[in-house]
């Protein structure tokens, strides 16, 4: 297939597709895994049971699913080296020509399992359901605070994705501001809604379900698919079928469906691509936008299989050497 430039219509971002810059899709899965077998417990890991003295505290603890003999399933703890702290507020201050404010916010770590070697791909759907419930409870609690304008839930997996501790964990960062990138994404969705009277993400989902070429997994409430203008090889979006602007609006039944899709999706990436480094993030509405009809939350996964170079940094356009249709077919294949 010849090179293409495709537009992500939700964000109005262009992506260059240059399939000649890589080998066949199957070659992604032939690269050797970088990870050695891990122990179930590591004596010096602060996230492993028995090492609670190494933690700065425990904010929340969730029990393991019924029938599981683990002491707990998830813990939420303060980040020992936070990017933002709860002291201060979001008052802006002039610094000559510039604007500054205190580093107000919150930074938490979600320990996903007491086992040092049990990643999402190896967890049971029931255990992942506990993780989703933990995400949701912290999201709702944190967004109740007046100064908290945005809550980002994310996961860094592997050195190229920025992880510093191997024990399975996610992070939550709360900010007192809404970054321009998030506002821009919201404004593009609003522009589409004003023109067509419809949510752009609902339209994308309907088109993908009709086409089926980029769908990887589907269940009653969620769809995992490779977006038409994926910025990275094997990028995946997990999107609720029911229109929801805010992750905080997810129902208990939908949490279980999300857990099943997330566990299966991460299992496919692990088995087909030999456990690649990746980042995922829950893209949700900023504060005061939760009820607006143009926004639609989703979980975005980007494997770290390529590196941005000079053109991408200079132009803001990503070059993807992998075609979304081929990526989806490779992940679906038995």
Collapsing DSSP states into helix, strand and coil, what is residue 301? strand
**Nearest of 234, 231, 225, 248 to residue 295 by alpha carbon:** 248
| Spatial distance between the Cα atoms of 295 and 131, rounded to a whole number of angstroms | 24
Six-digit token string for 218: 């589907």
Q: What are phi and psi of 246, to 5 degrees?
A: -125, 130
Q: How many CB atoms lie within 10 A of CB 88?
A: 14
CA distances from 42 to 13, 176, 241 (A): 44, 36, 40
- H-helix or E-strand spanning residue 218: strand 215-218
Q: Which residues are annotated as catalytic?
A: 169
Angle between helix axes 180-196 and 200-211 (nearest 10 degrees) is 70
Q: Do 201 and 189 touch, CB atoms closer than 8 A?
A: yes
Q: Do 217 and 261 touch, CB atoms closer than 8 A?
A: yes
DSSP-assigned states of every residue in 275-287: S--EEEEEE-PPT
Angle between helix axes 324-332 and 252-272 (nearest 10 degrees) is 90
């Amino acid at each position: 297939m010849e090179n293409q430039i495709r537009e992500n219509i939700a964000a109005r971002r262009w992506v260059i597709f240059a399939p000649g810059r890589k080998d066949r899709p199957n070659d992604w899965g032939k690269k050797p895994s970088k990870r050695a077998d891990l122990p179930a417990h590591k004596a010096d890991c602060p996230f492993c049971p028995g090492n609670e003295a190494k933690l700065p505290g425990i904010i929340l603890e969730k029990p393991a699913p019924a029938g599981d003999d683990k002491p707990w399933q998830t813990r939420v703890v303060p980040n020992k080296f936070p990017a933002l702290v709860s002291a201060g507020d979001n008052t802006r201050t002039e610094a000559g020509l510039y604007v500054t404010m205190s580093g107000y916010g919150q930074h938490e770590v979600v320990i996903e399992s007491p086992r040092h070697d049990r990643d999402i791909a190896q967890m049971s759907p029931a255990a992942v359901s506990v993780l989703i419930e933990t995400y949701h409870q912290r999201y709702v609690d944190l967004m109740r605070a007046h100064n908290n304008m945005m809550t980002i839930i994310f996961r860094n997996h592997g050195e190229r994705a920025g992880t510093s501790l191997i024990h399975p964990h996610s992070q939550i960062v709360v900010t007192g501001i809404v970054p321009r990138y998030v506002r821009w994404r919201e404004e593009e969705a609003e522009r589409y809604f004003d023109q067509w009277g419809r949510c752009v993400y609902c339209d994308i989902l309907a088109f993908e379900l009709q086409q089926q070429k980029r769908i990887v997994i589907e269940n009653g409430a969620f769809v995992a698919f490779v977006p038409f203008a994926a910025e990275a090889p094997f990028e995946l979006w997990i999107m609720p079928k029911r229109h929801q602007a805010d992750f905080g609006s997810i129902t208990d039944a939908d949490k279980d469906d999300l857990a099943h899709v997330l566990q299966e999706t991460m299992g496919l990436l692990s088995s087909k691509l030999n456990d690649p480094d990746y980042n995922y993030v829950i893209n949700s509405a900023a504060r005061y936008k939760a009820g607006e009809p143009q926004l639609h939350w989703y979980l975005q996964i980007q494997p770290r299989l390529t590196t941005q170079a000079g053109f991408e940094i200079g132009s803001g356009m990503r070059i993807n050497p992998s075609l979304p249709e081929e990526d989806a077919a490779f992940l679906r294949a038995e």
